[in-house]
Amino acid sequence: MKAAPQAQLRLLDLQELDASLDRLAHRRRTLPELAEIERLEGRLTELRDAIVAAETETGDLQREQKKAEQDVEQVRARADRDQKRLDSGQVSSAKDLSNLQAEIESLQRRQSDLEEVVLEIMERSEEAEGRVSALRADQAAAQDELAALVERRDAARREIDDEAGTTSAARTAVAKDIPEDLLALYEKLRGQFGGVGAAKLFRGACQGCHLALNTVDLNNIRAAAEDEVVRCEECRRILIRTPESGL
């Protein structure tokens, strides 16, 4: 393949612009905000699940408390009825009177036990409600932090995209100076060799693979016409000759 020396030199400009675009793309993919956003999104998912669980527990405890309070009220009402019967003097039999007094005492003990249950449920309910409040506060803080991170990420992306747009425009202009067949070869090699399709020959070494060329290869390059497109025998990238090539 042949191409004017100036067109070959433009490959170095193109390679530098492509390297800049690759670096910008890498920066865009690896913004530190992205990992933080992912972490916070995971944290928010955990918080949402925890809030649902805590609210479910709170609802269950409220129903449990209501049932326990109803049990207390039923026992209290029964004890009140028995006490009224006792106070009214309607019970004259000593045995019935003793049984009624025993039942009242039993109901009072039962009422006391049930009231303890209500208090215990109320304490658990307050703790659950406290957890819900704390979780919601954590959720709000995480949402604020996430919003700030998203804003920083978007600002960084805009900056990178602006720079990439300018670099892409410059690349388009440079590519117009390169023959189509040489450009196609460069693009093919760039895809094969980690984004580097052309490299400078500097002091007898390929700057693509950083290996020194042997004497035979250097002599072949010296003998090649200026418009001959030469390749590195080690990595097969296009070699660009300059006054610093050591030929």
Low-confidence winner among 93-97, 99-103, 198-202 (lowest mean pLDDT): 93-97
Q: Are 121 and 70 in contact (CB under 8 A)?
A: no
* The pair of three-digit structure tokens given for residue 90, joined into one six-digit string: 């309607």
Q: Are 164 and 29 in contact (CB under 8 A)?
A: no
* The pair of three-digit structure tokens given for residue 51, joined into one six-digit string: 């809030």
pLDDT at position 72: 87
Q: Are 56 and 152 in the same domain?
A: yes
Q: Please state the domain count of the chain.
A: 2
Would 163 be classed as within a structural domain?
no
As to burial, measured by CB atoms within 10 angstroms (0-12 exposed, 13-18 middle, 19+ buried), residue 75 is: buried
Would 218 be classed as within a structural domain?
yes
Q: Are 211 and 235 in contact (CB under 8 A)?
A: yes
Asked whether residue 219 carries a pLDDT value surpassing 90, the answer given is yes
Average pLDDT, stretch 125-146? 96
Q: Are 1 and 227 in contact (CB under 8 A)?
A: no
pLDDT at position 111: 87
Q: Are 87 and 197 in the same domain?
A: no
Non-local CB neighbours of 81 within 8 Å, separated by 6+ positions: none
Closest CA to 5 of 197, 169, 201, 168: 201
Where residue 41 falls among pLDDT bands split at 50, 70, 90? very high
Measured in Å, how far apart are the chain's first and last C-alpha atoms?
20
Domain that holds residue 55: 31-158
Q: Are 13 and 112 in the same domain?
A: no
Asked whether residue 61 carries a pLDDT value surpassing 70, the answer given is yes
Q: Are 45 and 120 in the same domain?
A: yes
Asked whether residue 91 carries a pLDDT value surpassing 70, the answer given is no
Average pLDDT, stretch 42-69? 94
- Please name the helix (run of DSSP H) or strand (run of DSSP E) that holds residue 54, with its range, or none: helix 32-88
